[in-house]
Structure 1
Amino acid sequence: MNRILDQIAEEINGVIAKMDEHDLVNAMGVIGRNDRVYATGEGRSGFQARAFAMRMMHIGYTSYMMGETICPSMHEGDVLVAISGSGKTKHTVEDAEAAKKLGVKVIAVTSKPESPLADVADAVIVVPGRVKGEAGGSIQLLSSLFDQSVHIALDALCLMISRRDEVSDADANANHANVE
């Protein structure tokens, strides 16, 4: 019998293998060097959004998490990265729709390319991991497979952006918390 860790790693590798890396390239094209980047998502998708916003800060971007008390107003030209496995999470879709009306560029991260969230987006990163409410496709609970795969996909996006912008590991480290 396979170890449970091996089974989980195999599932994640299966999702990553199904992803189209052009989705990441297209998303990178939406994010300009001087853009402010906002992130949103509910539940565990929200945790992935926070991790993405933090890594974007590390590579020199001004980034915010929607709903935080220090999150400023959005303006035309800003970027919103919205994460929802189903593409139907009410608050996430509402954030994306409101942002779009302001002229904000929207990147959707979802397992459902045909969804309300994807419909409003300028770029869509499809992460085909099982989400809450779906049967089969994973030994894991709820949307764990989607969440884990999103983390990897968005870290890959950050790496691609850092290479494009010529941000080194030392540069990122200089932005890392130094009082901990």
Structure 2
Amino acid sequence: MSTYQDFVNKIIQENRETLMAIDEKQIQSLIDEIRKAKTIQLYAMGRMQLSVRGFAMRLKHMGFDSYVVYDTTTPCIGKGDLLIVHCAVTNVELNIIKLAKEAGARIVLLTAHPENEHGQYADLAVRVPGQIFGTENEIPSIQPMSTLLEQSLFLFTDIVTMMIMDQCDIALDKMKNRHTNLEGLCGDFA
């Protein structure tokens, strides 16, 4: 029977292996795409959407015009805009990618499978090889289903955020000033 410490060590190792396998040229290309986009729209389904929402929030904090696809305030997408899709393996995602491409947007995929049909429409596919199907091109995981990819995408987009902050000289104070002030933080935390 595995202990808590056993699981911690294995899960951290899986994420480390996945994150270290990402091509740094692709990471820089992703940052370049973000920096030149008029608006940035992000999409994912299920638990993958947690990383999408977190990244959209940080992009907004850094001063980028970012939205989550299907939110009520998301504008139409078109030329000069960027769609970032996390995972990109379902027919739903494929349809969104095709519609955004037809509208003239650039497409970036953060996916374990850039070789699939979705990747044919992408202007950039960043391979994040965490397990989703358990195939040989993925980093294997003891965790169920696509948990490793979900975790790795969240960590990856947080690291990309830090890289953008560094490259664009974005001060943390400016980001804090763009954060909502309706949370009701009190005392020393405000």
Residue aligning to 2:63: 60
Structure 2 unaligned segments of length 5 or more: list them.
184-190
Residue number in structure 2 paired with 1:98: 99
Structural RMSD (CA): 1.7
Q: Determine what percentage of the aligned residue pairs are the same residue.
A: 26
What is the aligned partner in structure 2 of residue 13 from structure 1? 16
SS at match of 1:43: coil
State the aligned residue count: 177
Say whether the 8 Å CA contact 2:37–2:81 is kept in structure 1.
no
* Structure 1 position 152 matched with structure 2 position 155: yes
- For normalisation by structure 2, the TM-score amounts to 0.87
CA contact (8 A) 1:42 1:89 kept: no
Which position in structure 1 is the counterpart of 2:75?
A: 72
Q: Following the alignment from structure 1 to structure 2, what is the Cα–Cα distance between the partners of residues 169 and 124? A: 29
Residue in 2 that maps onto 1:115 = 116
Q: Partners in 2 of 1:144 and 1:153 — Cα distance?
A: 14
SS in 2 for 1:139: coil
Mark the runs of 5 or more structure 1 residues left unpaired by the alignment: none
Deviations 1:10-54 (A, max 9, x none): 111111121112111011121235621100011111221111111
Mapped partners of 2:82, 2:47: distance in 1:
21
Q: Which has the larger radius of gyration?
A: 2
In structure 2, how many angstroms separate the alpha carbons of the residues matched to 1:60 and 1:50? 15
Task: Using structure 1 for the length normalisation, give the TM-score.
Answer: 0.91
